């Protein structure tokens, strides 16, 4: 493999390699010779996810995701930002490869990449110091009147896409499993190009958009803009004949290039 600016040029079959060790930053892009694109990430400990199933980002932590107080002003050029959480612990490096953003006050609108942090025990100390990735420094001074939020990489601790009404979605769609993914394993998730995807309907029409299903977790169905629950994300277009219900059909994915 060759690695340049966040993109790996992979060989056929590389997308099916999984393991218990993190080998690349979350979100690393792999392009195989035919143009299909995969992103590197991990499945949560909640359970395994099968090949061809749609996955989504983990739910955010309400005590961490917005309006956190900045206890100490942060100068331009700083390499860390400390926030005061309102509850909830955080395992060491839970937010590695994720983001801290300023949602209000001085420095608002800026997003910074997190390289890692120590384990956070809220009961011992509510403050959480986030170290920024190499090359990323605070671009605009942050004051104690600023407010911030912290979020995981969308490719960290992913789960099978939820079903049900649109309001049930707890995270953005991130890809389709390229192979069987064991709980807590690392691997590749397809985001662009032809893929075999779990379907819950036979009503596919070649070239028509498909969306995540409101009936079956991890599946897709046609996007009918006159239908119900049509706010689910469109993730691509049907690429072949209509599959049998609960079978796997060809979808030309358009999640992320």
For every residue of 125-191, DSSP letters joined together read: -SEEEEEEPTT----S-B-TT-EEEEE--TTSSBEEPP-SSGGG--S-EEEEESS-B-TT-EEEEEE
How far is Cα 67 from Cα 120, in angstroms, rounded to an integer?
A: 18
Residue 61's pLDDT is 94
Q: Over 90: is that where the pLDDT of 243 sits?
A: no
pLDDT: is 169 or 94 the higher one? 94
Q: Over 70: is that where the pLDDT of 35 sits?
A: yes
Residue 203's pLDDT is 82
Poorest-confidence range of 64-73, 162-171, 191-200, 234-243?
A: 162-171
Buried b / exposed e over 37-74, threshold 16 CB at 10 Å, is bbbbbbbbeeeebebbbbbbbbeebebbbeebbbeeeb
Instruction: Provide the mean pLDDT of the chain.
Output: 94
Residue 14, SS3 per DSSP: helix
pLDDT: is 2 or 120 the higher one? 120
Give the residue carrying structure tokens 């979350």. Answer: 26
Give the count of beta carbons closer than 10 Å to the beta carbon of residue 34: 8
How far is Cα 211 from Cα 237, in angstroms, rounded to an integer?
A: 9
- Model pTM? 0.93
As a whole number, mean pLDDT of residues 33-38 equals: 98
Model confidence at 166, in pLDDT bands (50, 70, 90)?
low
As a whole number, mean pLDDT of residues 87-103 equals: 97
How far is Cα 69 from Cα 148, in angstroms, rounded to an integer?
A: 7
Q: Over 80: is that where the pLDDT of 88 sits?
A: yes
Buried b / exposed e over 115-144, threshold 16 CB at 10 Å, is bebeebebeeebebebbbbeeeebeeebee
Residue 15, SS3 per DSSP: helix
As a whole number, mean pLDDT of residues 240-255 equals: 91
Which of 130, 15, 113 shows the shortest CA–CA distance to 68?
A: 130
Burial, 167: exposed, middle or buried (Cβ in 10 Å; 0-12, 13-18, 19+)?
Answer: exposed
Model confidence at 245, in pLDDT bands (50, 70, 90)?
confident
Model confidence at 232, in pLDDT bands (50, 70, 90)?
confident
191 and 256 Cβ atoms separated by less than 8 Å = yes
As a whole number, mean pLDDT of residues 89-104 equals: 97
């Amino acid at each position: 493999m060759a690695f340049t600016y966040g993109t790996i040029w992979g060989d056929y079959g590389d997308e099916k390699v999984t393991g218990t060790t993190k080998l690349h930053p979350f979100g690393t892009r792999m392009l195989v010779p035919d143009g299909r694109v995969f992103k590197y990430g991990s499945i949560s400990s909640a359970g395994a996810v099968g090949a061809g199933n749609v996955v989504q980002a983990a739910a955010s932590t309400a005590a961490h995701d917005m309006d956190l107080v900045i206890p100490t002003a942060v100068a331009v050029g700083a390499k860390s930002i400390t926030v005061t959480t309102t509850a909830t612990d955080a395992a060491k490096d839970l937010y590695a490869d994720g983001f801290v953003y300023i949602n209000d006050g001085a420095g608002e609108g800026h997003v910074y990449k997190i390289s890692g942090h120590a384990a956070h025990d809220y009961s011992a100390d509510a403050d959480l110091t986030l170290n920024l990735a190499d090359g990323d420094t605070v671009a605009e001074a942050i004051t104690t009147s600023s407010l911030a939020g912290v979020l995981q990489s969308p490719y960290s601790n992913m789960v099978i896409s939820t079903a049900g009404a649109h309001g049930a979605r707890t995270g953005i769609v991130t890809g389709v499993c390229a192979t069987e993914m064991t709980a807590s394993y690392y691997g590749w998730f397809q985001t662009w190009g032809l893929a075999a995807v779990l379907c819950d309907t036979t009503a596919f029409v070649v070239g028509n958009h498909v969306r995540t299903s409101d009936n079956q977790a991890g599946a897709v169905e046609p996007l009918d803009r006159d239908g119900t629950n049509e706010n689910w994300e469109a993730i691509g277009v049907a690429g072949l004949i209509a599959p049998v219900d609960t079978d796997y059909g060809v979808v030309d994915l358009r999640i992320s290039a």
